[in-house]
Structure 1
């Protein structure tokens, strides 16, 4: 009897192992690349016969000794939906398949940022987003160092509609919308991006060897031991810090969210603002804020607090009722709640802010208001505040997920068999610490990916860093400007295109909300460089050449379109020049015959020129007449483009 049970178990095991298993990408609703051969692959038992039926044709394969199989389908025109049947010991039917153009959308948080974060800005766009021909596959945010993964742990193809589109990358969705409306071709977006990631985390082990420091850093994590130790230690430190903050918080102990609390002895400060700039000083920990506001009449409606951004985490209460929380500093604070929590007359909002390092408080130049129906109540101005718990700063985390190679192995390598049209890339903020190496990193990454996909001319379209941080009144050095120059230099790599966004940023937010124009400018690059609209003006002016005439520099540009212009017809700004001493001063600048002439009485023999060379060059106003901004740049009389 025991032998029979063992035999049956063995048969069941063999039968189970023999069944076809498909990668997550090969699934219902997938978008396959048109006009090229397409690979369909998966796993089964060794030497298993696989049959794939598509479009009334059958294709056969036999798995290798490792149980892997692959079928190559001939080129197909755009269209669908289709079905595909796979047979071995089991049968799988894949439905709702489209052929169109597939784009990898990668980089860091500005690519990852979903439409859900933009829902207040683009309400009408989201409401009209029903479109079965625009689809996204969201790759899980994971990393791995030991080797290249063959599949993802999760993920599915979803088509755009007012609910699902909230998960789509904002930049990628607006790109897809532009391309689809122009060509009516199904668009598949593979969203493989992770906030905060530097370029080296997206490069393979073999290719990162070109950068010895990064390669040695990668080797430390390859066996997983150090990674586990660091993650456990970081987690323990964080948990203990927040536990102590909560246990020490006088506000939690004494219910400072209570609308009847006597706060007459609390200090006051203006919101928005940072408490380090007020009497409390530069302390970390928990600070409570309260403000009384009056409503003449409560409407039956959904109310909404819009509280800009808060550093770092917050919990919000109205009249002693919890209405929302955010655990980190970047997302906009938008908290919807039922208006029955409000009352006619006086009301009280309480905000518990936890700041673990740096300056805590309310980010400037953001909206702080209560929206009730069609009415808006401004909440800026004087608030009362009280320190709940004073803490030492939380020690910095290691962020193992950003280490070299890890994201490539987990989030890019499993894509290598999937035919694609091109790559959309938005990354660079996390690489500004070492801008001088960025060109070499990107040239390596682009080559690496082209070899992986076996497409030597794979289009690679990327976004240049936007404007960010405080503006400066004098010419200064800037890592952000230096990184933009490296991105400009990357145009030397064939089949690349760059979307200039120097006018789309927000000085106080590394995640500017205008993702429509970013997607549109990437789409312009694609239309010209990928879809063949050769006469299309797809870029603003790009520096081309420099010459000296007496004490003036004459600058030439490509991509002038219908001609150079000054935005808003003002005075041309943001040019600076220097002699051999490298000391830059603001320069006069004019447009003449689609060239820019720059000079300064302070520099008799100019040698170098910079345009929009700052973290946030607020007066960068050189455009072409197609209303596309010029790229920031640095050049000297020896510069060759």
Structure 2
């Protein structure tokens, strides 16, 4: 009898456990199905910035055929009993497509510092995205000097005191393989090299003394300068990768479509002669076979940029070049390769006037670093502005270090980069650049070099005699600043300042700062330095 009772109890207990497991499984399936009902692209999180003055595109996944309602509401309003209220600004309803995707376009709105919220509703599931501002989104690309975080920047301690910037927002994902040098990637890292997994999930953050520590220092100072001068909310999406060559930010299809660069898309990339040598060396340290890698042509494009193409943005900033500056063939192609990249971006973002502002490489000696071509590379970067409209270059040769590829003063870099944006995109009366050469003309034993961005005059940074000019790229010559008559098109400017060099014969070229580590001291009245350059000398008419 007792045996039968024991068997009965065991049967009941087994039944209870089985029922509990069934309920748990059903509950998990219900949660899983609810998660599948509707989702939004990962770029849309609390604290984000939406691009002003352009249609607002929001997209995600859902159940095919289901209705999706997307509303943008203004928050921060208060009722009589002090409860927070919201007012709907725009609302759109769409249906999920057969491939499970959905997207809506809300009308363009002006910049706003008032918090908004996005509400997405489908099949009784709601997604709320709060504390959203309307302003400008800048995508930040580059290699280690762009990636360089605020916590390692020269003025970090000082910057902490003003890090609370409610109008400045960061989207700053980390990436697979970061800081893995001189060794093979582990299996777990290799699994994360798939484009959809390469950048770790993250969310937008408001700038404060904690969030800004890991943010790109150049990007931070760039965004802060714009916010301070305009009060327009700024969102910074940081996709910079330490050591990354320019090729990783360019789509493989774009490379293949250009006969000059189609060879860069040939596999295996680890032995491809069209890829920078140092880049292949680092790739071979990490990989046993030619699989995905942060330096592989098109990889960051696929993993980070391509997913953003449906998003409206303001522009691109870039600090990159060290990995493309170590062989003459790579140096000579850089301006054209950059042009291809930016044209690729402008086409895919459907913004033909998308601004592109970038940092010129600084100065470095070639004793401890392979920087013997840096002056040629800097001049090649200068030529990018001749190839690309809506572009601008920040010159920072005066803050380079002789034996370190990473100058820690990123404040001056970010602020000089911001000058281009403030002048060209925000309409401020601010000089965007140091002097850039306009012409070199020879007549009667005298060479005259004229400059743009020097209407208020030229000077030397240290108050000493002018340095940095050469007629052969090797031997420095005496030069002086002198007033003269400058003709730009049909306009004539009397009393303009130019650089004058006495020489008996007409030289073929005039050079400035023509060495890796520079000591040229020509600046404008804003104390912004002149770019490295080599330009042809013409006979004055």
Report the TM-score when normalising by structure 1: 0.66
Per the alignment, residue 419 of structure 2 pairs with 524
Structure 1 residues 570-628: Cα deviation after superposition (integer angstroms, max 9, x where no partner): 111111113xxxx7422111111111122457xx44111110011111x2101111111
2:466 to 572, 579, 588: 572
1:456 to 352, 355, 372: 352
Moved more, 134-143 or 539-548: 134-143
2:400 to 505, 509, 514: 505
Q: 1:490 to 1:235 in 2, by over 3 A?
A: closer
Per the alignment, residue 26 of structure 1 pairs with 44
Per the alignment, residue 305 of structure 2 pairs with 412
- Are 2:469 and 2:476, in contact at CA under 8 Å, matched by a contact in 1? yes
1:69 to 77, 97, 102: 102
Q: For 2:283 and 2:375, locate their aligned partners in 1 and report how far apart those are by CA, in whole Å.
A: 37
What is the SS of the residue equivalent to 1:69?
strand
Q: For 1:14 and 1:471, locate their aligned partners in 2 and report how far apart those are by CA, in whole Å.
A: 60
1:515 to 399, 403, 410: 410
Q: Which runs of 5+ in 1 are unaligned?
A: 222-229, 238-396
Per the alignment, residue 380 of structure 1 pairs with none
Structure 1 residues 325-369: Cα deviation after superposition (integer angstroms, max 9, x where no partner): xxxxxxxxxxxxxxxxxxxxxxxxxxxxxxxxxxxxxxxxxxxxx
What is the SS of the residue equivalent to 1:585?
coil
Q: 1:70 to 1:121 in 2, by over 3 A?
A: same
Per the alignment, residue 620 of structure 1 pairs with 520
Per the alignment, residue 41 of structure 1 pairs with 59
- Are 1:607 and 1:636, in contact at CA under 8 Å, matched by a contact in 2? yes
Per the alignment, residue 241 of structure 2 pairs with 194
Quote the offset at 1:31 in angstroms.
0.8
How many equivalent pairs are there? 458
Superposed, 1:155-194 pairs within 5 Å as 155-194=202-241
Quote the offset at 1:124 in angstroms.
2.1
Moved more, 605-614 or 146-155: 146-155
1:58 to 69, 91, 99: 91
Q: For 1:67 and 1:73, locate their aligned partners in 2 and report how far apart those are by CA, in whole Å.
A: 20
Q: For 1:592 and 1:100, locate their aligned partners in 2 and report how far apart those are by CA, in whole Å.
A: 44
Does residue 562 of the first structure (1) align with residue 456 of the second (2)?
yes
Per the alignment, residue 362 of structure 2 pairs with 466
Q: Which runs of 5+ in 2 are unaligned?
A: 1-17, 74-87, 178-189, 272-280, 484-496
Q: 1:153 to 1:168 in 2, by over 3 A?
A: closer
Q: For 1:34 and 1:570, locate their aligned partners in 2 and report how far apart those are by CA, in whole Å.
A: 47
Q: 1:151 to 1:141 in 2, by over 3 A?
A: closer
Q: For 1:232 and 1:486, locate their aligned partners in 2 and report how far apart those are by CA, in whole Å.
A: 26
Q: For 2:166 and 2:427, locate their aligned partners in 1 and report how far apart those are by CA, in whole Å.
A: 25
- Are 2:230 and 2:426, in contact at CA under 8 Å, matched by a contact in 1? no
Does residue 483 of the first structure (1) align with residue 377 of the second (2)?
yes
Does residue 80 of the first structure (1) align with residue 114 of the second (2)?
yes
Per the alignment, residue 327 of structure 1 pairs with none
- Are 1:588 and 1:600, in contact at CA under 8 Å, matched by a contact in 2? no
Superposed, 1:579-594 pairs within 5 Å as 584-593=474-483, 594=497
- Are 2:317 and 2:358, in contact at CA under 8 Å, matched by a contact in 1? yes
What is the SS of the residue equivalent to 1:180?
helix
- Are 1:24 and 1:152, in contact at CA under 8 Å, matched by a contact in 2? no
Q: For 1:217 and 1:587, locate their aligned partners in 2 and report how far apart those are by CA, in whole Å.
A: 48
Quote the offset at 1:511 in angstroms.
1.0
Superposed, 1:10-21 pairs within 5 Å as 12=30, 15-16=33-34, 18-21=36-39
Per the alignment, residue 313 of structure 1 pairs with none
Q: For 2:57 and 2:204, locate their aligned partners in 1 and report how far apart those are by CA, in whole Å.
A: 17
Quote the offset at 1:478 in angstroms.
4.1
Q: For 1:560 and 1:444, locate their aligned partners in 2 and report how far apart those are by CA, in whole Å.
A: 30
Q: 1:545 to 1:220 in 2, by over 3 A?
A: same
Q: 1:220 to 1:108 in 2, by over 3 A?
A: closer
Task: Say which structure is richer in helix.
Answer: 2
- Are 1:218 and 1:405, in contact at CA under 8 Å, matched by a contact in 2? no
Per the alignment, residue 76 of structure 2 pairs with none
Q: For 2:383 and 2:293, locate their aligned partners in 1 and report how far apart those are by CA, in whole Å.
A: 30
- Are 1:172 and 1:189, in contact at CA under 8 Å, matched by a contact in 2? yes
Does residue 93 of the first structure (1) align with residue 128 of the second (2)?
yes
Does residue 216 of the first structure (1) align with residue 234 of the second (2)?
no
Does residue 542 of the first structure (1) align with residue 409 of the second (2)?
no
Q: RMSD of aligned C-alpha atoms?
A: 3.3
Superposed, 1:211-360 pairs within 5 Å as 211-217=261-267, 234=285
Per the alignment, residue 501 of structure 2 pairs with 598
- Are 2:358 and 2:393, in contact at CA under 8 Å, matched by a contact in 1? yes
Q: Once superposed, which parts of structure 1, at least 4 consecutive aligned residues long, lie more than 3 Å away?
A: 5-18, 142-153, 217-221, 230-237, 397-400
Quote the offset at 1:485 in angstroms.
1.1
Quote the offset at 1:121 in angstroms.
3.1
2:155 to 101, 112, 121: 121
Quote the offset at 1:471 in angstroms.
8.4
Q: For 1:171 and 1:106, locate their aligned partners in 2 and report how far apart those are by CA, in whole Å.
A: 11
Per the alignment, residue 339 of structure 1 pairs with none
- Are 2:269 and 2:296, in contact at CA under 8 Å, matched by a contact in 1? no
- Are 1:577 and 1:587, in contact at CA under 8 Å, matched by a contact in 2? yes
Structure 1 residues 274-328: Cα deviation after superposition (integer angstroms, max 9, x where no partner): xxxxxxxxxxxxxxxxxxxxxxxxxxxxxxxxxxxxxxxxxxxxxxxxxxxxxxx
Report the TM-score when normalising by structure 2: 0.78
Quote the offset at 1:147 in angstroms.
9.2
Structure 1 residues 79-109: Cα deviation after superposition (integer angstroms, max 9, x where no partner): 2211121111321111111111111111111
Quote the offset at 1:420 in angstroms.
1.1
